[in-house]
Amino acid sequence: MFRAQIVHTPFLVLLCLVAGLSMWVPAAHASLTGDHDVAQAFFYSGIIVMIVTGMVMLAMANRRTRTTARGQLLAVVGAYLLLPVVFALPMTQAMPDTTGINAWFEMVSSFTTTGATVYDDAGRLAPSIHLWRALVGWMGGLFMLVAATAILAPMNLGGGEVVAGRDVGQGAHGQTQITRIADPGERLWRYVSVIAPVYAGLTLALWLCLMIAGEVNLVALI
């Protein structure tokens, strides 16, 4: 029952929940390194995001709207519009001397993995904030992999139309069984369960290799 609820919860709402939970990673790091102001900023920001997201999920608990491919495509667009705002919340709290626009731009850059930054002086940012920027970029990469395989490819978008040789937005010949039999929500979470462990495993392997090569632990992880 819980799995069915998750599958039918709007994708964008679940992404906001994941964003709130992920804020506790830099909060834990800051707490362990003694940077309590940054730890509190990320910890309380995570609580706020999760409370608001939880309220939205409760309000939609009795709605049984069928997930559609078009709805998921809109969720991808919405993610790039909404999530950077959510990601910027703890940065504005942890860095009182920064502006909301700067924090938002930094999170857009991190989530899209473009690498642009408004903070030329790296020493201005606490190590836990650097970790947060890297974590947002890591989640952005995972998000794009999942979106490309589970949402864009079945619609022949994002390059899928080149492989399939059909019109943009039309279903492709030779789709996998999961594409044919599963509704978009079910297909999305099956792809997440396949891609996420591999993505995390490769990250761990690269982290260990860089540490063996002599890199500082946090820098190697980032």
Taking the C-alpha atoms of residue 105 and residue 88, their distance in angstroms, rounded to an integer, is 8
Taking the C-alpha atoms of residue 104 and residue 69, their distance in angstroms, rounded to an integer, is 28
The confidence score (pLDDT) of residue 180 equals 44
Question: Per-domain residue ranges for the chain?
Answer: 2-221
Look at residue 188 and give its three-state secondary structure.
Answer: helix
Cβ neighbours around 75 below 10 Å, total: 20
* Burial of 19 from C-beta contacts in 10 A (0-12 / 13-18 / 19+): buried
Q: What is the pTM of this model?
A: 0.84
Taking the C-alpha atoms of residue 81 and residue 186, their distance in angstroms, rounded to an integer, is 24
- Spell out the per-residue pLDDT of the chain, length 222, in tens: 445 556 667 888 889 999 999 999 999 999 999 999 999 999 999 999 999 999 988 887 776 656 666 777 888 899 999 999 999 999 999 998 889 999 999 999 999 999 888 888 777 889 999 999 999 999 999 999 998 888 887 777 655 444 444 444 444 444 444 444 456 667 778 888 899 999 999 999 999 999 999 999 999 999
